[in-house]
A and B are shown apart, each in its own frame.
Chain A
Amino acid sequence: MNYEFGFYVFMLAAFLGFELIRKVSPLLHTPLMSLTNAIASISVVGAIILTGEQGGSTLSRVLGFVAVVSATTNLVSGYLITDRMLKMFKKREPGKK
């Protein structure tokens, strides 16, 4: 039984999340949401296992494949647009530091 251990991990990670996010300046809230949205695509891990597993049923392969596609869409677009946004945050016009 690993569930108990899982709950400890969950609790600590949730606290850590609260503390980290509270410190983010409101200036960056949109890129932050975009980034956490991209991190949510970690479900791609489950999707890969499901799709590539030996002895999987057709159902689980089909569902797994669709899950890989949609999680990857989330992942790629999430990371790229976050970076695109952050590239635009500049302090001052160049040369006028």
Chain B
Amino acid sequence: MTFEIYQPLYILAAFFFIFGLKSMSSPATARRGVFSAELGMLIAVVSTLMRHEVISYEWIIIGLLVGTVIGIPIAVLMPMTAVPQRTAISQACGALASALIGTAEFYKGQHGFTVGALMLETLLGFLTVTASVMAWGKLQEFLPGRPITFKGQNIVNLGVLGVAVAFAVAMVVSPANSFLYPYFVGLALIFGVLLIIPIGGADMPTVIALLNSYSGLSSCAMGFALDNKLLIIAGALDGSSGFILSIIMCRAMNRSFTNVLFGGFGQVQTSAGKQEARPVRSASPEEAAGILADSRSVVIIPGYGMAVAQAQHKIRELHDVLTKRGVDVKFAIHPVAGRMPGHMNVLLAEADVPYDKLIEMEDINGEMAMTDVSLIVGANDIVNPAAENDPKSPIAGMPILDAYKSRTVMVIKRGMSPGFAGIDNELYYMDKTLMLFGDAKSFVASLVKEVGANHD
């Protein structure tokens, strides 16, 4: 093996990737981590350009430029509420690259183990492409967010996957079977679609993390096919990170992996038919503002509704006026609030809420009983006491934020429709609960005005 300069540089690039991920453990060092990972990628690209087998550059340069020109506006113009969508579509791009490379390598006429690795690469790559596009459609609400299920769905899904794997095996065994490849690709693409349609919008945090893992593993398989250790390392880091994040998400919902993937969650709506109109207490912005202003401690619980209403800036203003009056304001973040792991943190950080005010579920639940007011903005299932009290509830056992323990509960909500899971929320009918009906953004804006007005 002759020595080439890219070999030590690849090791350096791998070092910077690992160091970058390590720096992500704390917000104080996270930006340095991104810089390190960027440096790693730059080294990887430049040293690849220096490899001796790379001889023509014009299309590479054009490709890099076109990608950059598309990529910059996506990153700069994308509103923070759309980060989950962006991640999904970006994942589709990455997976497409990996799948196309695998396809080209396959048609070079590889043998044995390499074909096996290429099969894995292209299977994961192509299914991630369509699955990510589907996830993007659901997040962007081009596609219905609720699960689409049909009878025998799991059998169909497994059947499609089974045939695809059988084709792959046939092609590994004999190159004469390579005419199967286009069908194999078709099946992988179809499987990606089938994988996502039964999964509801609220399960997207898990799905996005899982797809991240798939695209990482696809790069990893490419590393085996091309005998490139840098691809193996970066792909494995990615694969394991996506995997562990999706496990964290599942645990936060007390559901198993298989339940998210095959569950068709949300079919429970049928039981909602027997709903009788039960009395709730509602309040005007003036009343609510009066209570907030006179309390000592307030915990704000944001959910996906806050993102939809773009209410995060108004909520920060509310935090400011209340803090000025000496009220202790904190934010309680449920691990699966939003459409992506940690989604709420990013939105509140965008609105300049200091991150030490964002408290995780385990840490804040102990304080809930001593809290005067918990203000729920666009969240539902993550505060539903049925998860703790009703063993028959579809969300039974899911850890929740104990908003019901606080002295007063305020819920900003558009109307009385049930949340994603289609389950009624006992919290709304409690004596100490005030329903604040209206759009989250304008309601919080009027709360800010009222609290500011009665400061004397």
Within 44-97 of A, Cβ neighbours of B (below 8 Å) are at: 44-54, 57, 59-61, 63-93
Known contacts A21-B244, A33-B340, A52-B59; is-contact A89 B48 (Cβ 8 Å): no
- Please encode chain B, from 1 to 42, with 1 for each CB lying within 8 Å of some chain A CB and 0 for all others: 000000000000000011011101111001101110110110
Within 97-113 of B, Cβ neighbours of A (below 8 Å) are at: 97-98, 100-101, 103-105, 107-108, 113
Q: Within the complex, what minimum Cβ distance (angstroms) separates B303 from chain A?
A: 15
- Chain A residues with Cβ below 8 Å from B63 are 47, 51, 65, 68-69, 72
Within 226-259 of B, Cβ neighbours of A (below 8 Å) are at: 226-245, 248
B340/A9 in contact, CB under 8 A: no
Q: Within the complex, what minimum Cβ distance (angstroms) separates A70 from chain B?
A: 4
- Please encode chain B, from 39 to 77, with 1 for each CB lying within 8 Å of some chain A CB and 0 for all others: 011001100110101111101101110111011101110
- Provide the bound-state CA to CA distance between A49 and B129, in Å: 22
- Provide the bound-state CA to CA distance between A22 and B24, in Å: 11
- Provide the bound-state CA to CA distance between A69 and B41, in Å: 15
B103/A63 in contact, CB under 8 A: yes
A17/B30 in contact, CB under 8 A: no
Known contacts A3-B224, A49-B51, A93-B354; is-contact A80 B76 (Cβ 8 Å): yes
Q: Within the complex, what minimum Cβ distance (angstroms) separates B209 from chain A?
A: 6
- Chain B residues with Cβ below 8 Å from A70 are 67, 93-94, 96-97, 100
Within 197-243 of B, Cβ neighbours of A (below 8 Å) are at: 208-209, 212, 215-216, 218-220, 222-224, 226-243
A41/B212 in contact, CB under 8 A: no
Q: Which of A2, A16, A42, A83 contacts B31 (CB 8 A)?
A: A83
Q: Within the complex, what minimum Cβ distance (angstroms) separates A80 from chain B?
A: 3
Q: Within the complex, what minimum Cβ distance (angstroms) separates B302 from chain A?
A: 14
Q: Is B425 at the interface (CB under 8 A from chain A)?
A: no
Residue of A nearest to B53 (CB): A53
Q: Is B267 at the interface (CB under 8 A from chain A)?
A: no
Known contacts A18-B244, A52-B60, A92-B354; is-contact A69 B70 (Cβ 8 Å): yes
Q: Within the complex, what minimum Cβ distance (angstroms) separates A6 from chain B?
A: 5
- Please encode chain A, from 18 to 41, with 1 for each CB lying within 8 Å of some chain B CB and 0 for all others: 101111111111111111111111
Q: Is B194 at the interface (CB under 8 A from chain A)?
A: no
Q: Within the complex, what minimum Cβ distance (angstroms) separates B123 from chain A?
A: 15
B24/A68 in contact, CB under 8 A: no
**Size range of the interface on B?**
35 or more
A16/B64 in contact, CB under 8 A: no
Stretch touching chain A among B83-91, B137-145, B182-190, B439-447: B83-91
A52/B56 in contact, CB under 8 A: yes
- Chain B residues with Cβ below 8 Å from A25 are 25-27
B86/A81 in contact, CB under 8 A: yes
A16/B18 in contact, CB under 8 A: yes
- Chain B residues with Cβ below 8 Å from A74 are 67, 71, 90-91, 93-94, 97
Known contacts A32-B241, A33-B212; is-contact A77 B236 (Cβ 8 Å): no
A40/B216 in contact, CB under 8 A: yes
- Chain A residues with Cβ below 8 Å from B41 are 38-39, 41-42, 44, 75, 79
- Chain B residues with Cβ below 8 Å from A22 are 244
Q: Within the complex, what minimum Cβ distance (angstroms) separates A36 from chain B?
A: 5
Q: Is B333 at the interface (CB under 8 A from chain A)?
A: yes
Known contacts A29-B245, A45-B48; is-contact A86 B237 (Cβ 8 Å): no
- Chain A residues with Cβ below 8 Å from B219 are 40, 42-43
A82/B68 in contact, CB under 8 A: no
Apart from A9-B232, A49-B51, A83-B31, list 12 A-B contacts with CB within 8 A: A3-B113, A20-B24, A30-B345, A41-B93, A42-B231, A48-B60, A63-B101, A68-B59, A75-B41, A76-B72, A77-B86, A84-B75
The 8 A-B pairs at the shortest CB distance, nearest first, are namely A72-B67, A76-B71, A68-B63, A29-B342, A17-B240, A80-B75, A13-B236, A29-B341
Residues of B within 8 A of A (CB): 17-18, 20-22, 24-27, 30-31, 33-35, 37-38, 40-41, 44-45, 48-49, 51, 53-57, 59-60, 62-64, 66-68, 70-72, 74-76, 78, 80, 83, 86-87, 90-91, 93-98, 100-101, 103-105, 107-108, 113, 208-209, 212, 215-216, 218-220, 222-224, 226-245, 248, 333, 335, 340-343, 345-346, 349-350, 352, 354-356, 358, 360
